[in-house]
């Protein structure tokens, strides 16, 4: 069974790893295409807002919310700014990747 399929059938409980008032949160994700692995990084800027990076990979290719008409990366950043990590995880999982692991500092 593929790692992606494993994560669909049994999503891990990863949000407990996010520290309160974290300045950086990294989501490790697995793609539906050949179980490719990517990293999504949320880092606070000088204004205290989270900015999301695909760490060299185009975020648009992850097709967040492709079934719901599309979720823009800024919508995910806004949820992160509010500290709503459950919504962030769900929006990421709505695309072509599934969250495998989360770390923060």
Q: What is the pLDDT of residue 67?
A: 64
Q: Which pLDDT band holds residue 102 (cuts at 50, 70, 90)? A: very high
Helix axes 85-93, 73-81, angle to 10 degrees: 160
Q: How many CB atoms lie within 10 A of CB 91?
A: 20
pLDDT tens digits for range 78-95: 999 999 999 999 999 998
Catalogue the E-assigned strands of the chain: 24-31, 37-44, 50-53, 97-104
Query: Is residue 51 scored above 90 in pLDDT?
Result: yes
Q: What is the pLDDT of residue 56?
A: 83
* Distances, alpha carbon 21 to alpha carbons 34, 73, 90, 97, in Å: 35, 21, 20, 26
pTM equals 0.91
pLDDT tens digits for range 2-47: 999 999 999 999 999 899 999 999 999 999 989 999 999 999 999 9
pLDDT tens digits for range 56-72: 888 877 888 866 678 88
């Amino acid at each position: 069974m593929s790692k992606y399929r494993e994560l669909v059938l049994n999503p891990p409980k990863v949000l407990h790893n996010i520290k309160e008032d974290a300045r950086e949160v990294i989501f490790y994700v697995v793609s539906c295409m050949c179980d490719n692995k990517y990293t999504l990084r949320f880092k606070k800027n000088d204004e205290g807002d989270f900015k999301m990076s695909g760490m060299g990979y185009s975020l648009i290719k992850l097709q967040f919310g492709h079934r719901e008409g599309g979720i823009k990366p800024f919508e995910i950043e806004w949820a992160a700014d509010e500290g709503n990590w459950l919504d962030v995880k769900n929006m990421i999982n709505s695309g072509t990747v599934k969250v495998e692991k989360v770390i923060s500092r």
